[in-house]
Amino acid sequence: MSNAAVSPQLPTNFQQKDNEVSEQKGIRLTAPEHTAGKAGNGQVLVEARGLQKSFGARKILRNVDFQMNKGDITVIIGKSGSGKSTLLRALAGLTDPDDGEIVVDGQTVFADKQRTKLWDGVRSEVGMVFQTYTLWPHMNVLDNLVLAPRKVRGANASESRERAEAALAEVGMAEHILSRPTQLSGGERQRVAIARALMMKPKLLLCDEITSALDPPVAAEVLDVLRRLKEEDGIAVALVTHDMAFASKAADRVVFFHDGEIAVNATPAAAFNNSDNQDLKKFVDAVRF
């Protein structure tokens, strides 16, 4: 499975930098007020069963069972190196698990240690946004957005431009359609990166620490965009983040990854207030101060 098959528009050097848990210092987590909007309708969009993945002798995904519902924001938390990005990449088709099954929108896209033929039909329903800005600096916003649809789907220029205008409007960036990425702030670039993922009209948006490099108010704007997308378009969002404030307020589900397994999958209130999982408690305490 090559990255190019999924996201031909991505530069290949999108290294994720280590996230600093200390960025979250000072955030209070007790008694979170759950302010998420309309949650999904309870229909399952993604199901992973028994995912296994090793790098060399190290087991990274041990036995991951994971479910996401349509129209939900699922926040994935866990220690650095616990396998969060590996899980997202497996769902996006950027990395293949060693074993297990992945079902997206009723289609079994991974089974018997390989991608199935159904993956081709589902691929465009899965968008991914990364921590670092992955826009091509030498192209303006419009060209960044239309590159994949034109190359992959052979979409024509006017259809692609219309779609780009709609996607940029969804993230509040319509007036920047002819700007170059270097003329945009970090938050604006991430909103463009989300718009680019929306070009394929995904049902599932996988976001890997997309606000980690942003100041808190700018990060909040980007997260607001995700909330609107789930509320207005019913997109399911999986968000890996160290932003516990967002996790406690805006998530429909909180998934705590520990030692290659999903140790807790609960509502934010249950995860942060009532969980008797000691590893989650330790993790939350570590990021609280």
Ligand X SMILES: Nc1ncnc2c1ncn2[C@@H]1O[C@H](COP(=O)(O)OP(=O)(O)OP(=O)(O)O)[C@@H](O)[C@H]1O
Q: Is residue 211 near ligand X by the rule CB under 6 A?
A: no
- Write down the residue that tokens 């932003």 correspond to: 243
Among 55, 151, 159, 216, which residue sits at the site for ligand X (rule: CB under 6 A)?
A: 55
Q: Is residue 97 near ligand X by the rule CB under 6 A?
A: no
Query: Count of CB atoms within 10 A of residue 98's CB?
Result: 13
Among 85, 95, 134, 248, which residue sits at the site for Mg ion (rule: CB under 5 A)?
A: 85
Among 71, 83, 97, 187, which residue sits at the site for ligand X (rule: CB under 6 A)?
A: 83
Nearer of residues 40 and 100 to ligand X, judged by Cβ: 100
Could you tell me the smallest distance in angstroms from the CB atom of residue 172 to ligand X?
A: 28
Residue 82 contacts which entry, ligand X, Mg ion, none (Cβ below 5-8 A, type-dependent) = ligand X
CA distance to 25, 134, 188, 190, 214, per residue, from 219 (Å): 15, 17, 10, 9, 5
Measuring CA to CA, which residue among 95, 198, 116 is closest to residue 149? 198
Q: In terms of residues, how long is the chain? A: 289
Among 39, 68, 84, 250, which residue sits at the site for ligand X (rule: CB under 6 A)?
A: 84
With CB under 6 A as the rule, give the number of residues binding ligand X.
Answer: 13
Residue 80 contacts which entry, Mg ion, ligand X, none (Cβ below 5-8 A, type-dependent) = ligand X
Could you tell me the smallest distance in angstroms from the CB atom of residue 260 to Mg ion?
A: 13
Give the DSSP H/E element, type plus range, for residue 45. strand 44-55
Among 8, 11, 37, 81, which residue sits at the site for ligand X (rule: CB under 6 A)?
A: 81
Collapse the DSSP code of 194 into the 3-class scheme (helix H, G, I; strand E, B; otherwise coil) and give the result.
Answer: helix
Q: Which of residues 245-274 bind ligand X (CB under 6 A)?
A: none
Could you tell me the smallest distance in angstroms from the CB atom of residue 273 to ligand X?
A: 24
125 and 203 Cβ atoms separated by less than 8 Å: yes
* Dihedral-angle region of residue 100 (phi above 0 means left; psi in -120 to 50 means alpha; beta otherwise): left
Q: And the tokens for 15?
A: 């290294």
Among 82, 132, 144, 265, which residue sits at the site for ligand X (rule: CB under 6 A)?
A: 82
Residue 114 contacts which entry, ligand X, Mg ion, none (Cβ below 5-8 A, type-dependent) = none
275 and 248 Cβ atoms separated by less than 8 Å: no
Q: What is the distance of C-alpha 64 from the center of its chain?
A: 17
The footprint of ligand X (CB under 6 A) covers 16, 18-19, 55, 60, 78, 80-86
